[in-house]
Chain A
Amino acid sequence: MKARTGYSTSLKQEFLKKWIKGIRIYSNFKKDMNILERKKAIKLSADLAIASTRNASTRWSRTLTANISKNETNKIFVEQIFSDSEVIKKEAPSRLMARSNRIASKKIWRRSHITQIKARKMGPYAVKARSIAKKLVKNRTKVLKSLVPGGENMDGISLIKETLDYIVSLRVQVDVMRRLASAAENSTRSL
């Protein structure tokens, strides 16, 4: 337990440092932002910071950084933050698509074959229930894939691994942001 809390605190510190650094750089770029721009700056720096804590070892962090860098105005900002060049280009999607097509056709055959076998074995009602359950799971996996950045072309196991990692990082992000917000709030209140 001790080790776990130690790890998360160091993670929080790292995130905080990078985040504040990003905000400062952004505010040096642009003076006098309105509230929406500020919010965007804050969120952007936070996302970049939390993604960089993973050092591009996970898919979601790479995708997140890549998505942010797609925007031209952000790119300069990103490059300045990561002067030590942690940004990694997203891997070419073409390779993945080819593989998934091959797998898809195999899956179709297999699925039809398996439902035949199962229908013979289990009787019609059980098959129906099972297919409903499978459909549910499939729909939800689709939704999850849309939520986790970079989750589109991943199979079940790695998707779950990425989700785990993503959840942990999101929690760190939310925790630090919340503390900062309450600290700032308390400071303005006591003014």
Chain B
Amino acid sequence: MLRCAQSTTLSPEKCSVLGMDIDISVLERQKALLQRVYQQQQVQYLQPQEANMNPLFHQNMSNMLLAKYQECLDETNLPSFPMFGRGFACPELTSGSHSAISNNSSMTKHDHQISSKRDRTVSNNTRKRKAEFDVEDDCKDKGAEREAGEVQSEITVKTDRETSTNNSSKESVQKPDYIHVRARRGQATDSHSLAERARREKISKKMKYLQDLVPGCHKVTGKAGMLDEIINYVQSLQKQVELLSMKLAALNPRLDFSIDDFFAKEIPAYIASFPMQLQVPNPSSLQYNQLQQGAISCGVDMAMNPSQLLPQKEGSSSVPITEVYHDSSSGHQAQVLPTWDSEWQNLFNVGFH
């Protein structure tokens, strides 16, 4: 289907999804190249059907690949390497020129290797691909996976790949989560190392999230250091929980956290985002005290007076709250907290339980 041919352009989002960092300009070049190739070839991609797919696909792909290589050899004004399909190769900018030169020279060498490699990797990939056909709708993905094992491109050596990992021998292919990895130069292309590499990349991606989450993790690189920071952070958080619960126990001899405390939490939430179930009911029943009508702004938490309020269920005269919470993010000031009317408090109680 020609649909596939048109959709083989790779978008940057797809690249990031696949965990590869690709230069955008490279993508564009690759797109142009691909259009030309497809127009020349007029290859029809078949719809992903399991049964009769593979041999024909194989055939078409072989033609396509050879044609592409020809195209690339002819293409003299391409500064970087030929990108096919997805064009994964990550030409790091530092080694750009060097790689271009060496790659052109290595092209011819790779030519004859391609067909042999293709045959080898096809057997490895067919199984994966067959299952993929059920999962992936985009047949461009299939094309890329096919090429993943074959085309070799130059990539800067990743220096510090600490892996916690000869620990996983096999990638779990059972779940429908297919990872497209391109074999790098000088590295084995068998399924084990591909799988391991994919796994390592997953881990490093997750580590990046952790880096954002854990404060102070930016300076450290490498797995061991980050793990260290993470451990320290988790330990400190756990200790804080212990300390705070001790503090709360000390402060509250009767463990009577009243609704005012809720209110203390609700107000900032109320300000920050328009909410909630625990919203303040209509102000008609509220009473405002003059003392509290000034707006005191600062980054201090609210002060609540639970003990004052409780005995005064009839309560109108007392003033429970004294301060106003200033939400730094929103930048505006909170309203003054009203006193609690008795039936309102009961209402709240009922609603809460």
Contact = CB atoms under 8 A, between A and B. Distances in A.
Do these two chains really belong together in a complex?
yes
A13 B266 contact: yes
Nearest to B320: A187
Interface string B222-241: 11100110110111011011
Given A110-B169, A160-B203, A164-B210, A183 B248 contact: no
A180 B266 CA distance: 12
B234 A148 contact: yes
Contact of A147 (B164, B234, B254, B301): B234
A156 B261 contact: no
B207 A170 contact: no
A98 to B, nearest CB: 16
Contacts of B254: 27
B210 A160 contact: yes
Given A16-B262, A180-B261, A167 B308 contact: no
Interface string A77-102: 00000000000000000000000000
B345 interface: no
Given A144-B231, A183-B261, A35 B250 contact: yes
A2 B168 CA distance: 39
B164 A23 contact: no
Nearest to A130: B162
Contact of B257 (A10, A23, A110, A143): A23
Where chain A touches its partner, the secondary structure class is helix
B265 A12 contact: yes
Contacts of B323: 186
- Centre residue among B252, B254, B255, B262 by max chain A CB count within 10 A: B255
A157 B179 CA distance: 14
A39 B238 CA distance: 14
B264 interface: yes
A42 B265 contact: no
A190 to B, nearest CB: 6
Contacts of A144: 227, 230-231, 234
Nearest to A37: B249
B350 interface: no
Interface residues on A, range: 35 or more
B199 interface: yes
B213 A137 contact: no
Given A20-B262, A27-B255, A157-B202, A178 B167 contact: no
A174 B248 CA distance: 12
A103 B169 contact: yes
A2 B228 CA distance: 31
A10 B265 CA distance: 11
Given A12-B269, A137-B164, A177 B244 contact: yes
A38 interface: yes
- Centre residue among A21, A136, A147, A184 by max chain B CB count within 10 A: A184
Given A13-B276, A17-B352, A173-B237, 14 more contacts: A6-B273, A13-B278, A35-B250, A38-B248, A38-B252, A42-B245, A156-B167, A174-B244, A178-B240, A180-B261, A186-B302, A187-B305, A187-B306, A187-B307
26 contacts: A2-B273, A5-B273, A9-B273, A10-B269, A13-B266, A20-B262, A35-B246, A36-B249, A38-B248, A42-B248, A42-B255, A103-B168, A103-B169, A107-B169, A137-B162, A138-B164, A160-B203, A164-B210, A164-B213, A174-B237, A181-B244, A183-B264, A184-B304, A188-B307, A191-B305, A191-B308
Interface of B: 160, 162-169, 199, 202-203, 206-207, 209-210, 213-214, 222-224, 227-228, 230-231, 233-235, 237-238, 240-242, 244-257, 260-262, 264-266, 268-269, 272-273, 275-276, 278, 301-308, 322-323, 329, 352-353
